[in-house]
Structure 1
Amino acid sequence: MHADRTTRALLTVLGMALLAAGTAGILAGTDVLGHHLADRHLTDNPIARYLGDNNVWFWPVAALVGLAAAILALRWLIAVLTPRSRAADITITSAPSAGCTSLDANALTDAVTTEINSYRGVDTSHAKVYGSPTDPRLTITVRTEDSANIAAIRDRIESNALAHIRQALERPDLPIILNINIGDRQSSRAAPR
Structure 2
Amino acid sequence: MSADRKFVFQRARGPRAGKAAARVWRRHARRRAAWYYWLRILVLGVPLGAVGGYLAAHPQEVASLFAEPAQPVGGVTGRAAVVDGDTIMVGDLVIRLDGIDAPESGQVCEAAGTAYDCGRAAELFLRGLVAFRTVTCSTGELDPYGRTLGFCTREGVDINRAMVAAGWALAYRHYTGRYAAAEDEARQQSLGLWRGRFDKPEDWRHARP
Q: Given the two structures, how large is their TM-score scaled by the length of structure 1?
A: 0.27
Q: Which has the higher helix share?
A: 1
More relative contact order, 1 or 2 (CA 8 Å, 6+ apart): 2
